[in-house]
A = this chain, B = another copy of it.
Amino acid sequence: MGRWEPEARARLERAAMELYGERGYEQTTVAEIANRAGLTERTFFRHFADKREVLFGGAGALKDVLVNGVLGAPASASPIEAIAAGLEGAGAMFQPRHELAMHRQAIIDANTELQERELIKLATLATALSEALQQRGVRDSIANLVAETGMAIFKIAFARWIDPANRSDLSQIIHESLTELKSIF
């Protein structure tokens, strides 16, 4: 791909988000997205398999950040500390994309199919986190429990972060949620 391509991807993403927000996800076509971005449908399909992938194309990068955070935690880190490292890496990745994340969430909240896809994405990420913990030598029953709890924390922290009243960084909210969970036991 030529060096103009990243810009085309960002333009398509922005155009899609605008249109999903304005007229709804269901009602928006790929032709309209390409048109709004001043690009061709062919260019759209070089970047995204379909209009849903504009919203979920980042799942692979998120998974990598989570897994690398877990695997990169010090050998002395407990399972929950390793998960915290992964979650905080994800926090840092999302932080500059706050506006986009708020916008994306509003689109997803308005559409049942997209909500289902989001749940599947979170379940897939929990599995990836569990596998990363198992690579660190954590036994599978503990790994599954900690990974599921970690994704529950991520989900809650993410919802707090994109609340319009919020002023804190995602990493900070994740840290607070972990502390909060610890305190309630």
- Measured CB to CB, the residues of A under 8 A from B are 78-80, 115-116, 119-120, 123, 141-142, 144-146, 148-149, 151-153, 155-156, 159-160, 177, 180-182, 184-185
Counting every copy of the chain, the complex holds 2
A184: chain B residues at CB < 8 Å are 78-80, 142, 145-146
Specify the main secondary structure of chain A where it touches its partner.
helix
Complex contact A142–B180 (CB within 8 A)? yes
Q: Say how far A165's CB is from chain B's closest CB, in angstroms.
A: 12
Bound CA span A144–B151, Å: 13
CA distance A78 to B160 in the complex (A): 22
Is B181 a contact partner of A149 (Cβ separation < 8 A)?
yes
